[in-house]
Structure formats: C-alpha cells, structure tokens
C-alpha cells in the first residue's frame, strides 16, 4: 500500500475497532442523518442539536455552538475539551481545520465545548463533570487538548486533572489508542536522530488504554519502617485479545508486520500478553510477520533502527513511555496525533503532548499534532477518508511553506504563532 506525506494510520474501516468486518457504510449510517429524518439526542444541558445559534446557552461546564444545517446535509456533533495549559490554543486550531473541512466539503459540524482536567476542577470541583461525560457520549467524536499543570500538581491532592482524561477513556470504553509516527522529510533536521536513521520511518503504536497499572487497585499504607504504596497491574485475556486484534488488522492494512512489546522476562501480565497474542496471530493472522520484543530493548531499537517497525502493540504504560520517545523521530512532541477507539465509531482524538504550562497562552504551541488528530477523527469516527487526507496534505503543505512553530522551525527560520499555523493549514484544506 502506498502512503504519502502524512498519510497516518490507514484503518480498514472507519471506526468500530472491536468489530472485525464492521462496514464503513454502517458506521456512516450511525453518524449520518438528515435535517428532518434524524432527531439527534440532546447532547447535554447545553442545548439540542439543531437549535439556532441564538439558542446557545452556557452552563457550568458545557457550551454548545450551533450552525445552520442545509437540507439533506449530514451534521456531526463534535465535543471539544480544551482542558489546560496549551490545550485551548491547540484545540482552537483543530476546530478551525474542521470548519474549513465543513466549508470545502459541504459538511455541517456542531461544536460543543466542555470542561475537563484542571479547568473542570476549578469550576466544578471534579476533573470529569457528569455534563462533560454526557456531552462526549452524545457526540460523533471528541477532540481534546491536554490536561494538567503545576497548579493541580500536589501529590497529596485527592482530585487530579489526569483523572478526567483517564475517567473519560474508561467510561467511553476507548481501549485502543493509535499513535502513528511518520517523519516529514523537511523535519528530519528537527529530530535529534541522525538523518539516515529516519529514512523510511512509518510506524504505528497501538497502546492498550483502559487497563493495566493505570487502572489497577491503588493502595497506600504505613508500616513500622515507614509508608508503602502499591499499584496493581492487571490484565484479562479478553482485554488483551481485543486490542491485539485491532493492531493485527491494522498491520494487515499496512506493511504486514506486528511487534508485541512486553516485559515477559519479569512480569506475569506480560507472559499473558505473550501467550494470548501468539495464539491470536497464529490462529487468525498467520500472514503477518510477527515478533515480540522486551520493552527495554524496544526503547533502544526505536532509536537504532526505527524504520524496521510497522505496528507495535503494547500495554498501557509501556505505550505511554514509548510514544513520547517515538515522537522524537518526528521531530517534536507537537507533531504526534492520537486516536482512542472503542467498539463503536465514536472516538477521542488528542495530541500525545501534554499541557506545556511553560508556554501556555503565548502562541508558541505547535497545533499540528491536534490538527493531525482532526484528520484521524475524520477518518476513524466519521468515515471521511478524502477529508482526512485533505487535512494531512494541508499540514504537509504548511511545513513545506515553512509556516511552523519554533519547536520545528529550522535554524534562521522565524517561528510562526499557533494561530498563524492554524490559519495556514485551514487555508490549504481543499476538496
Ligand atoms: C498520554 C498522557 C496521559 C497518559 C496522562 C496525561 C495521564 O501522558 O496521553 O500519553 O499517561 O496516558
Ligand atoms: Mg504520555
């Protein structure tokens, strides 16, 4: 399969990762609807889809912004969770890109904004207010910025911004996190790796997202010799099998290679991953080139021979760590998008970077990871492949035009601001 520029993960169907053979058309039907034949559910206390712009109400945590819908036009409801730090700046550019897609391709998007993370804690006392969760459940897809920051960093606090994100992933059943890594030729210099190592890099990490040590029981106690703490890492066969099947399907649609990353020489959970994955590949995907690798070795090989990887499947925490490392191949954390998918078409799309409080509010944040996440949203939740490619092509075009933020600017190149980059992408989105 030939892929170019920022053709990221090519998913064989447009979402519905838990259902092999789930067809693109049935997914589209799920999201589709015309003005008169489909009463979309009330997304939130913020208002009903289809209300006139003037009917926009603001509540404690959900704000709905409505557009006009033409006869027969499909409307997609997108819940936007800006979050903390640079989150609001980058999601604004993601929305700009979606609006441009709407205008050029004739789609209607209804955006509703809701609180998450530190911003939600400040406003409501919790990191994931019930109205936010309801707005996400009712949406075609969710676009998220980032959560967290020094203001809410007290390790003794019982309420933490990250609980919002983890709670959302769990509540929505988004067990498969796709993190594609490609290297634009013009950004090779932005990477700390030698250029020859980056040639041909095109990998996809499929990170398990709702299990493992992130969600196991957490305990804290005090013994005679001081305090103790414990985080349980637990996986069931079913949790492993469903994400492995997603990764194997993706490997089949790409270059046909699957790498399981684990720590089977030490961890019992990894030994379960090894046996479940081996059996699935042998029984259902014998056509794939399959290998397994210990996570410490993988951390090394990602720098030594990154072009050898195609699809990596791994558990929650290993995937978190390895994708920050892998982002350096692409030149910047600001370049890596992600898609979190479950059994249906609905998904959560977010850049892999954090809230970067040190540069928040300064217009320095790179919006491209968020805009590339919008491309994944179009592809996986809405089934709009040409639109996804148009966004990816526009991102490539702004990189080629040299309109980029400081993190990926070349020496001597003046950095552009977050919104200038976002405008430049939006302008270049063509049908
Ligand atoms: C990520 C982030 C999150 C994670 C944090 C913010 C909880 O690092 O999405 O990679 O660890 O999953
Ligand atoms: Mg992370």
Q: What is the per-residue pLDDT across 247-297, written as a single tens digit (0 to 9) for each?
A: 999 999 999 999 999 999 999 999 999 999 999 999 999 999 999 999 999
Give the residue, out of 320, 338, 370, with the most ligand 1 atoms within 8 A of its beta carbon, to mutate for a pocket test.
320
**Alpha-carbon span 82 to 160, nearest angstrom:** 16
The whole-number pLDDT of residue 155 equals 84
Tell me the backbone φ, ψ of residue 293, rounded to 5 degrees.
-150, 140
What is the mean predicted confidence (pLDDT) over 165-192?
A: 96
Q: What's the gap in Å between 352 CA and the centre of ligand 2?
A: 6
377 lines ligand 1 (CB under 6 A): no
Tens of pLDDT, residues 196-223: 999 999 999 999 999 999 999 999 999 9
Query: Which contacts (CB < 8 Å, 24+ apart) does range 43-49 have?
Result: 43/77, 43/79, 43/110, 43/112, 43/134, 43/135, 43/138, 43/139, 44/112, 44/114, 44/131, 44/134, 44/135, 44/138, 45/131, 45/134, 46/112, 46/114, 46/131, 46/135, 47/112, 49/75, 49/77, 49/110
- Evaluate: CB of 208 within 6 angstroms of ligand 1: no
- Contact in structure between 109 and 314 (CB atoms under 8 Å): no
Cβ proximity of 60 and 135 under 8 Å: no
Q: Are 115 and 124 in contact (CB under 8 A)?
A: yes
* Cα–Cα distance for residue pair 58/47, rounded to 1 Å: 9
Give the distance (Å) from ligand 2 centre to CA of residue 184: 22
Edge-first strand listing for the sheet containing 257-262: 62-65, 108-114, 75-83, 141-146, 347-351, 337-341, 176-182, 202-208, 311-314, 257-262, 289-294
* Residue 38: pLDDT over 60: no
109: pLDDT strictly greater than 90: yes
For the residues 10-25, what does the mean pLDDT come to? Answer: 36
Residues 162-182, mean pLDDT to the nearest whole number: 97
Give the least confident one: 36-50, 54-68, 321-335, 377-391.
36-50
Determine whether 231 is an active site residue: no
Q: Band of the pLDDT at 188, cuts 50, 70, 90?
A: very high
- Return the best residue to mutate from 162, 319, 337 for the ligand 1 pocket (most ligand atoms within 8 A of CB): 162
* Interacting residues of 156 by C-beta distance below 8 A, sequence separation 6+: none
**pLDDT band for position 161 (50/70/90)?**
very high
Catalytic residue chosen out of the listed positions 76, 263, 285, 349: 263
Cα 320 to ligand 1 centre (Å) = 6
Is there a catalytic annotation at residue 225?
Answer: no
CA 382/CA 347 separation, integer angstroms: 10
Please check the confidence at residue 181 and state whether its pLDDT lies above 90.
yes
Mean pLDDT of the 371-375 span: 98
Lowest mean pLDDT among 9-13, 303-307, 416-420: 9-13
Mean pLDDT of the residues in the chain: 87
- Cα(339) to centroid(ligand 1), Å: 13
Residue bearing the CA closest to ligand 1, atom 11: 320
Residue 69 has what pLDDT? Answer: 59
For ligand 1, whether the C-beta of 201 sits within 6 Å is: no
Q: Is 344 helix (H, G, I), strand (E, B) or coil?
A: coil
> Is domain 1-174+333-431 given the CATH code 3.10.620.30 in the classification?
no
Pairwise CA distance, residues 14 & 372, whole Å: 16
Domain with CATH 3.40.718.10 in the chain: 1-174+333-431, 192-329
CA distance 276 to 18: 16
Q: Decide: 320 in ligand 1 pocket, CB within 6 A.
A: yes
* The CATH number of domain 192-329, selected from 3.20.20.450, 2.10.10.90, 3.30.1490.20, 3.40.718.10: 3.40.718.10
- Number of separate helices (H) and strands (E) present in the chain: 13, 13
Q: Are 338 and 320 in contact (CB under 8 A)?
A: no
Section 16-32 average pLDDT:
37
Q: What span, in angstroms and rounded, lies between the C-alpha atoms of 212 and 268?
A: 12
Give the number of other Cβ atoms within 10 Å of residue 21's Cβ.
8
- Using an 8 Å Cβ cutoff, are 14 and 383 in contact? yes
pLDDT score of 81 more than 90 = yes
Q: Which residue has the higher pLDDT, 15 or 34?
A: 15
What pLDDT does 62 receive? 55
Q: pLDDT tens digits for 391-407? A: 999 999 999 999 999 99
């Amino acid at each position: 399969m030939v892929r170019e520029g920022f053709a990221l993960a090519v998913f064989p169907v447009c979402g519905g990762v838990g259902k092999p053979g789930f067809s693109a058309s049935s997914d589209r039907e799920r999201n589709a609807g015309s003005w008169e034949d489909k009463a979309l559910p009330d997304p939130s206390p913020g208002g009903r889809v289809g209300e006139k712009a003037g009917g926009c109400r603001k509540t404690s945590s959900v704000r709905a912004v409505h557009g006009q819908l033409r006869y027969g036009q499909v409307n997609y409801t997108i819940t936007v969770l800006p979050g903390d730090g640079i989150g609001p700046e980058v999601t604004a550019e993601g929305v700009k890109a979606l609006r441009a897609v709407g205008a050029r391709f004739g789609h209607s998007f209804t955006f509703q904004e809701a609180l998450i993370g530190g911003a939600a804690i400040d406003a409501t006392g919790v990191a994931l207010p019930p109205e936010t969760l309801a707005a996400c459940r009712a949406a075609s897809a969710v676009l998220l910025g980032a959560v967290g920051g020094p203001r809410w960093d007290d390790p003794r606090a019982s309420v933490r911004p990250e609980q919002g994100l983890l709670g959302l992933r769990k509540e929505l059943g988004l067990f498969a996190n796709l993190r594609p890594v490609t290297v634009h030729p013009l950004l090779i210099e932005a990477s700390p790796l030698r250029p020859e190592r980056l040639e041909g890099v095109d990998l996809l990490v499929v990170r398990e997202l709702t299990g493992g040590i992130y969600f196991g029981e957490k305990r804290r106690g005090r013994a005679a010799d001081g305090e103790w703490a414990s985080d349980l890492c637990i996986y069931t066969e079913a949790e492993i099998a469903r994400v492995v099947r997603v990764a194997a399907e993706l490997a089949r649609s790409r270059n046909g290679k699957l790498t399981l990353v684990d720590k089977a020489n030490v961890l019992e959970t990894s030994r379960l991953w090894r046996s479940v994955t081996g059996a699935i590949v042998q029984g259902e995907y014998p056509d794939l080139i399959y290998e397994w690798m210990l996570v410490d070795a993988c951390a090394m090989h990602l720098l030594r021979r990154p072009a050898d990887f195609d699809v990596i499947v791994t558990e929650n925490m290993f995937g978190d760590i390895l994708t920050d490392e892998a982002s350096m191949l692409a030149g910047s954390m600001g370049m890596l998008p992600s898609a979190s998918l479950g059994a249906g078409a609905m998904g959560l799309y977010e850049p892999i970077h954090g809230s970067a409080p040190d540069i928040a509010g300064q217009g320095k944040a790179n919006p491209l990871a968020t805009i590339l996440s919008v491309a994944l949203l179009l592809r996986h939740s809405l089934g709009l492949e040409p639109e996804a490619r148009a966004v990816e092509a526009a991102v490539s075009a702004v990189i080629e035009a040299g309109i980029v933020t400081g993190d990926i600017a070349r020496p001597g190149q003046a950095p552009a601001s977050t919104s200038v980059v976002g405008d430049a992408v939006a302008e270049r989105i063509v049908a």
